[in-house]
Amino acid sequence: MIHHGRCGSQVLGDLLNQHSQILWEGEIFEPLIHELPKHPMSHLRQRVDACGKATYGFETKLHHPGLIGLDWPEYVNALEQLGFRKFIIQRRRNLLRAFVSGLVAKAKGHVYHVPAGAPTSLKQLTIDPKAVYFFDEPADLLETMRFTTRRLESVQQLFREHEVVHLTYEDDIAEEPKRGYRKVCEFLSIEEEPVAVSLGRTTPFPLCDVIENFDEVKAALAGTEFEWMLAE
């Protein structure tokens, strides 16, 4: 699965991992979760060989190949050499909400997931549109949104001749996560099995309630291709 983060990938991955024919290992190249292996592709081969199930799956964020010293074409080629043939590309159309969700999780002490049905507290943020701390260095909000959009589009082009299923958070995860699960089962040509949704939304509140300086962010995105995202 390829995605940009905060788009329901963990929710879907948890459902897929409940299937008897699938081992789903999530973001194996995410340094916030795992120590990066010295030999990434050899490590991945070992994980595939040790799978023990018919299907092995994992997730790659857009920046992960760079962390392990590969550009995207090299990474796709390496995956093919390991026998990967089917790919899920998942995104969130409202990229602003994805970014805000990540900032809220970071502000809450890196709490990125909550149990399904659990109450969620409102965490308000002040966002400087010219200096948002997504990582360690401040970044321009608008430019980061455009960069992420371009990079996702370029990655999608790399898979244009591969077997791919495209999912969106809004259509396939937000209201009914099992919809995405069913699409992937069909894509893999395996019969779906009963699964239970165990994770819920972390930031279900309107953006105008989450972003304390909402008017400033609104002004920064006014007239851009992302302006519509403020209203959702």
Read off the pLDDT of each residue in 120-131 and give the average, rounded to a whole number. Answer: 96
Could you read off the pLDDT of 102-112 as tens digits, one per residue?
A: 999 999 998 89
- Is residue 136 very low, low, confident or very high in pLDDT (cuts 50, 70, 90)? confident
> Mind listing the domains of the chain with CATH numbers?
2-231 (3.40.50)
Residues 6 or more apart whose CB falls under 8 angstroms from that of 58 comprise 1, 24, 25, 26, 27, 28, 44, 47
pLDDT at res. 105 = 94
Read off the pLDDT of each residue in 84-107 and give the average, rounded to a whole number. Answer: 97
Could you read off the pLDDT of 28-43 as tens digits, one per residue?
A: 999 989 999 999 999 9
CB 158 within 8 A of CB 62: no
pTM of the model: 0.96
- Is residue 135 very low, low, confident or very high in pLDDT (cuts 50, 70, 90)? confident
Give dist(CA 36, CA 56) in Å, integer: 19
